[in-house]
Structure 1
């Protein structure tokens, strides 16, 4: 059953692609934290329904996690909120292409944090896969921003670069923490272990960010619910993507899951090429080929 992480990860990448596109539309009408809040608050009913389906419909017992579960979930929840906010803030920067490219270092950082926190080392082939995939996705991200190498170097000192690296680091920590939380349940069903972790995470994130907004940006709470159509779609696609990510990361190591997850950029490339008839540049072709090579290696590692 270990092979299931592959289609689940691909589904996660698809949902994330849609959620990110929807969330970008919210940045014009909501603040950074307001747009971040949408992916959590509207995801709670769906996460709760999923756990009830696993329990009542499929007969999986509810987990009885130990004392290590809550700290892992709390760490993952906090870092995911901050990572999402950093990425959205990066979108607002003039030189966001630099930040977006550097945020793709998440996979490399995830491998490092998984080794530190969980003692999970990747194989030599896995290291090569991560390196190729990361190089490819950064190359495409830079080209999409129409950024020259000189511009990339100059942009490293700007705020977008810092936000990008910070976003990647925080996303990496959150992924490792959520895997740690799911594994700490000791549940025999990876579906329930992941679903229980997801429900705990979105509840915590909704409470934490809701409290922050009520104290610091009370008008944003009204705006989030006033734009319920688009915000609801963000929440639904967000929790579906998270359910897939959590499940895949319960089965497989975070670094491998995140490397395969970069396939979302291949989807974007194919849509541009086949549907919009856009002509990719040489760097986009090279970046996509490097990414595909990394994906193929991680499937063979």
Structure 2
């Protein structure tokens, strides 16, 4: 059920912020370990998350709303799922290029639709389901990386490390969306933006403790590199906080599946960053895949109206 029109602009901005953040984070991952590159988005996102909620409270003053008992549990579930998803996505980047790694993870749209149907009881129109199918076809075409592949070649490619890591990343990103939506619902306020910012301000420190503790235990020497990369990592934290705030606002006001379908426009931003920022060549098949993704978003929006 859509409770506010804010979900659409929030989702579009979130897609742009996430693509930008992922592009910068990939450059950080060249000098940091898998867990170190994952930690920077949370560690450096804390001050920006706190600034966002403080600024919002200054603009719209009032007491903080009550939180239901399950609030922290949902934040923890969503936060842990996002850590796993991010690590898997970075792992996919190390097997294939930036655009292809992200394309595999975008199967989260269909995975999120199925999971939200069973776990949240959210239904979509047939037209929106058609948009999901079109979008998935587009990201699968993107995943070929410009190579001509028959059906059997494609099936074999799904077993490659980049595909496995990317698809698993999409699954955990879908779980993240469900956990965050339930967390925003556990905030006793009619203001979805405030609910989203509260969830963000609580979840990011949780994620920092979880992944930071793991890094200190398993790779204690890596923490020095995390702090020494503050110039670029600070950008990751800022973009991550802004993007997550928008994603969370979308999840608070619209069905998870619909937000994730429209969020596939991130692929367009991703291809732009991959081509202009990371200097990766765009193949003809990638352009065709992008058109399918955009068509899928249009169908999903038409089905939601």
TM-score normalised over the length of structure 2: 0.90
Give the aligned partner of residue 172 of structure 1: 174
The answer on whether the counterparts of 2:116 and 2:122 sit within 8 Å (CA) in structure 1 is: yes
Give the aligned partner of residue 42 of structure 2: 40
Any idea what the Cα deviations from partners look like across 1:158-180, whole Å, max 9, x if unmatched? 33322122111101000111011
**Mapping for residues 35-184 of structure 1, pairs under 5 Å:** 35-93=37-95, 100-143=102-145, 146=147, 148-149=149-150, 151-184=153-186
Q: Which consecutive unaligned segments of at least 5 residues does structure 1 have? A: none
| Comparing 123-132 and 159-168, the one that deviates more | 159-168
2:241 paired residue among 232, 239, 242? 239
Q: Which consecutive unaligned segments of at least 5 residues does structure 2 have? A: none
The answer on whether the counterparts of 2:91 and 2:165 sit within 8 Å (CA) in structure 1 is: yes
Q: How many pairs does the alignment contain?
A: 298
State the shift of 1:61 in Å.
2.9
CA distance in 1, matches of 2:72, 2:275: 45
Give the aligned partner of residue 30 of structure 1: 32
Give the aligned partner of residue 224 of structure 1: 226
Instruction: Determine if the alignment matches structure 1 residue 251 to structure 2 residue 256.
Output: no
The answer on whether the counterparts of 1:101 and 1:137 sit within 8 Å (CA) in structure 2 is: yes
State the shift of 1:103 in Å.
2.0
State the shift of 1:86 in Å.
0.7
State the shift of 1:2 in Å.
2.6
CA distance in 2, matches of 1:221, 1:180: 32
The answer on whether the counterparts of 1:113 and 1:172 sit within 8 Å (CA) in structure 2 is: yes
Give the aligned partner of residue 262 of structure 1: 264
Summarize the Cα distance change of 1:270–1:218 in structure 2 as closer, same or farther, 3 Å threshold: closer
Summarize the Cα distance change of 1:285–1:91 in structure 2 as closer, same or farther, 3 Å threshold: closer
The answer on whether the counterparts of 1:39 and 1:238 sit within 8 Å (CA) in structure 2 is: yes
Give the aligned partner of residue 214 of structure 2: 212
State the shift of 1:139 in Å.
1.1
Summarize the Cα distance change of 1:100–1:142 in structure 2 as closer, same or farther, 3 Å threshold: farther
State the shift of 1:60 in Å.
4.1
Summarize the Cα distance change of 1:207–1:158 in structure 2 as closer, same or farther, 3 Å threshold: same
State the shift of 1:280 in Å.
4.9
Give the aligned partner of residue 21 of structure 1: 23
| Comparing 132-141 and 230-239, the one that deviates more | 132-141
CA distance in 2, matches of 1:94, 1:48: 35
Give the aligned partner of residue 295 of structure 1: 297
Aligned to 1:188, the other structure's residue is in SS state coil
1:3 paired residue among 2, 5, 9? 5
State the shift of 1:44 in Å.
0.5
State the shift of 1:90 in Å.
1.4
Any idea what the Cα deviations from partners look like across 1:74-128, whole Å, max 9, x if unmatched? 1101110011001111112269887654322101111111122211122212111
CA distance in 2, matches of 1:272, 1:215: 34
The answer on whether the counterparts of 2:99 and 2:274 sit within 8 Å (CA) in structure 1 is: no
